[in-house]
C-alpha cells in the first residue's frame, strides 16, 4: 500500500483533555479554537493508517469508472495526465481566519488564504483577498496525447486526494501517481503548474515521478527564469528553464523569457530567440537507464550536430536534414544552419572535452528539468492543452446543476473522512457523465463521414481560438490587443 501523509493536523475536537476545554476558557486560557490535544486513540500512527485506507477507497471508486471504458477506447490513452488542486469549502460554520475566540465546529478543515497576486499568506496578513475554510482537493485527470487532435477516449479523473490547504500538497500528488501506476495504467506526459514541479523539492516530486517513467511539463515563476540553480549547471553545461545548454550560449538567449516578462522584447522576438536556443541545446544520446541517468551530447558533436565549436573540430556530422521533415519539425527547427561558437570556455569541463557524451544522473537539475524545450511550439501546445483540460474539469465538476463540487450545502457532513467519501462519489458521478457523453457521441446516428466532418469543424474552431488576434489575453502576452477607447469620442448611440 502506498504511504499516504496525514491530510490534516493531528488534532480533533473529541475527547479533549480538561485543560483545553471549558474550564480553561473560564480561567481565561483560551486554546486554539477547535484544536484540542487528542487522546491516545487519536495518535499519529492510527491516523496514518486511516488516511491510507481513506485514500485507497476513494481511488478504488474512481478506478471502477475507468474500467467501464471499453478496451478499444481505453487503449487510446497513453498515460498522459495533468495534476492540479482546487479548494472546496466546508459546510460547517467557520469563524474568521484571524479570530482568537471562535473556531469552526469542523477542525479537520483549514483556511485557504490568498492575496491579490494569488499567493499564499498567513492569517495575520492584512493582504488577505480570498479566504475559504475548507480543503484542497488534488485531481489527476487524463489528457489527450496529441493536442492537435481530438481525444479518442473520454478524459476522466484518474486519481484524487484531499488535504488541509497548503499542507502536504506535493506528497498527496506524488502518492496519487504512485497509486495510478500500482493500478496498472500506462505512464506518459505529466503536466503541472508552477505550484508543483518548480516549487517542490526534487526528491519529493520530480525524482520519484521521473523514476516511474513520467515525462514532466511545467512553467516557471519569475525568479526561476533564465539560469536554473546556484551551482552553475552540471559537467560544464548550463541549465536554462529546465533544459541543458552549451555554456557559450549568448546572454540575450539565456535571458529571453525574463526580457519578455519585463516587456523589453515582444512575443515574436521571444519565440525567435527560443528557436535560436535550440542550436545550443544538448541532445540525449540514448534513452535514460534504469536509474534515470541519460548520456548527453555537446551540440557540436555527433550526427545531427547544431553547432560548430573549435573544441569539437571535426566531430560534427555534415549530413543534411531529411527532405521528408514535417511542417511541425520545421516549426520547431526553423533554421537548419549550424551556429558557430566563437567564445568557448577558457577552462572547459567534461561536456566540452568528452568526445562522445557525458552521463547526467537523474538528480542533476531535477528541480527544474523537463525533456521538451521550454517555450517551443511543442511545449506550448501541450502545456496549454493540459492546463485547459484540468481547468475544464474544475468547471465541469463544480456545475451546481450537476455534481456541485463547489457547493458545500450538498456535503452536509463534518469530518475529513466523510467529506472525502462524498467528494469521491462526486468524482465518480463526473466520470460517469463524461463516459455517457462520449458514448452518446460514438453511438450517434451520424455516418463515419459525418462524424469526421464534425471533428474537423471542432478542430477548426480550436485553431481559430488559438490564432485570433483580438483576444484580451492571448497566450504569452497579457496585455490587451486593442487600444483603450478615446474618452473624447462620444457614443454614436
Kindly tell me if the per-residue pLDDT of 269 is higher than 90.
Answer: yes
Least confidently predicted of 159-173, 256-270, 328-342:
328-342
Give the highest mean pLDDT range of 197-211, 445-459, 479-493: 197-211
pLDDT confidence of residue 442: 83
Residue 249: all three cell numbers together: 550560449
Q: Is the pLDDT of residue 481 over 50?
A: no
Q: What is the model's pLDDT at position 118?
A: 61
Specify the pLDDT at position 297: 94
Give how far Cα 352 sits from Cα of 231, 269, 287, 343, 358, Å: 18, 29, 21, 12, 9
**Predicted pLDDT at 149:** 86
Q: Please choose, from the candidates 290, 313, 301, 295, the residue with its C-alpha nearest in 3D space to the C-alpha of residue 234.
A: 295
**Residue 361: pLDDT over 90:** yes
Query: Given pLDDT bands bounded at 50, 70 and 90, which one contains residue 229?
Result: confident
Per-residue pLDDT, 46: 74
pLDDT of residue 368: 94
The full set of domain ranges for the chain reads 49-280+368-463
| Mean pLDDT value across residues 356-376 | 93
Mean pLDDT within 4-24 = 41
Judged against a pLDDT cut of 80, whether residue 394 lies above it is answered with: yes
Q: Answer yes or no: is pLDDT of 43 > 60.
A: no
Q: So what's the pLDDT on residue 463?
A: 66
Per-residue pLDDT band at 467 (split at 50, 70, 90): low
Q: Which residue has the cell 540514448?
A: 286
* pLDDT of 3 higher than 60: no
Lowest-confidence region among 97-101, 154-158, 189-193, 315-319 = 315-319
The pLDDT mean for the chain works out to 81
Banded pLDDT at 47 (limits 50, 70, 90): confident
Does residue 16 carry a pLDDT above 60? no
pTM of the predicted model as reported, rounded to 2 decimal places: 0.80
pLDDT band at 445 (very low <50, low <70, confident <90, very high): low
Amino acid at each position: 500500500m502506498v504511504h499516504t501523509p496525514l491530510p490534516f493536523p493531528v488534532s480533533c475536537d473529541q475527547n479533549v483533555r480538561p485543560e483545553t476545554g471549558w474550564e480553561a476558557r473560564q480561567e481565561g486560557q483560551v486554546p486554539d479554537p477547535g484544536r484540542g490535544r487528542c487522546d491516545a486513540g487519536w495518535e499519529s500512527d492510527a491516523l496514518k493508517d486511516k488516511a491510507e485506507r481513506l485514500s485507497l477507497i476513494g481511488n478504488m471508486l474512481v478506478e471502477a469508472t475507468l474500467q467501464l471504458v471499453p478496451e478499444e477506447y481505453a487503449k487510446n490513452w497513453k498515460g498522459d495526465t495533468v495534476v492540479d488542486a482546487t479548494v472546496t469549502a466546508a459546510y460547517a460554520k467557520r469563524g474568521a481566519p484571524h479570530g482568537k475566540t471562535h473556531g469552526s465546529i469542523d477542525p479537520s478543515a483549514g483556511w485557504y488564504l490568498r492575496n491579490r497576486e494569488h499567493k499564499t499568506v498567513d492569517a495575520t496578513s492584512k493582504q488577505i483577498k480570498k479566504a475559504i475554510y475548507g480543503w484542497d482537493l488534488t485531481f489527476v485527470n487524463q489528457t489527450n496525447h496529441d493536442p492537435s487532435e481530438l481525444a479518442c477516449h473520454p478524459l476522466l479523473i484518474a486519481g484524487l486526494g484531499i488535504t488541509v490547504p497548503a499542507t502536504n500538497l506535493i506528497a498527496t500528488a506524488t502518492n496519487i501517481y504512485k497509486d495510478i501506476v500500482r493500478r496498472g495504467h500506462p505512464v506518459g506526459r505529466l503536466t503541472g503548474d508552477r505550484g508543483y514541479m518548480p516549487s517542490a523539492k526534487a526528491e519529493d516530486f520530480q525524482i520519484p515521478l521521473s523514476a516511474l517513467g513520467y515525462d514532466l511539463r511545467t512553467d516557471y515563476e519569475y525568479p526561476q527564469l533564465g539560469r536554473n540553480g546556484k551551482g552553475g549547471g552540471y559537467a560544464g553545461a548550463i541549465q536554462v528553464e529546465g533544459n541543458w545548454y552549451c555554456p557559450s550560449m549568448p546572454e540575450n538567449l539565456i535571458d529571453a523569457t525574463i526580457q519578455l516578462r519585463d516587456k523589453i522584447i515582444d512575443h515574436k522576438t521571444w519565440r525567435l530567440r527560443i528557436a535560436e536556443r535550440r542550436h545550443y541545446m544538448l541532445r540525449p544520446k540514448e534513452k535514460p537507464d534504469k536509474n534515470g541517468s541519460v548520456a548527453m551530447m555537446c551540440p557540436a558533436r555527433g550526427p545531427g550536430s547544431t553547432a560548430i565549436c573549435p573544441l569539437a573540430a571535426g566531430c560534427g556530422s555534415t549530413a543534411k536534414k531529411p527532405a521528408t521533415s514535417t511542417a511541425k519539425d520545421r516549426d520547431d527547427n526553423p533554421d537548419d544552419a549550424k551556429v558557430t561558437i566563437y567564445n568557448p570556455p577558457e577552462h572547459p569541463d567534461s561536456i566540452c572535452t568528452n568526445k562522445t557524451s557525458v552521463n547526467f544522473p537523474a538528480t542533476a537539475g531535477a528541480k527544474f528539468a523537463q525533456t521538451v524545450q521550454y517555450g517551443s511550439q511543442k511545449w506550448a501546445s501541450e502545456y496549454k492543452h493540459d492546463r485547459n483540460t484540468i481547468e475544464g474539469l474544475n468547471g465541469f465538476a463544480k456545475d451546481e446543476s450537476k455534481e456541485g463540487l463547489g457547493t458545500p450545502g450538498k456535503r452536509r457532513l463534518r469530518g475529513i473522512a466523510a467529506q472525502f467519501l462524498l467528494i469521491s462519489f462526486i468524482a465518480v458521478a463526473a466520470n460517469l457523465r463524461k463516459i455517457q457523453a462520449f458514448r452518446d457521441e460514438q453511438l450517434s446516428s451520424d455516418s463515419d463521414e459525418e462524424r469526421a466532418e464534425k471533428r474537423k469543424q471542432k478542430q477548426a474552431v480550436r485553431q481559430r481560438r488559438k490564432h485570433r488576434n483580438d483576444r484580451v489575453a492571448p497566450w504569452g502576452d497579457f496585455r490587451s490587443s486593442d487600444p483603450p477607447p478615446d474618452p473624447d469620442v462620444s457614443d454614436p448611440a
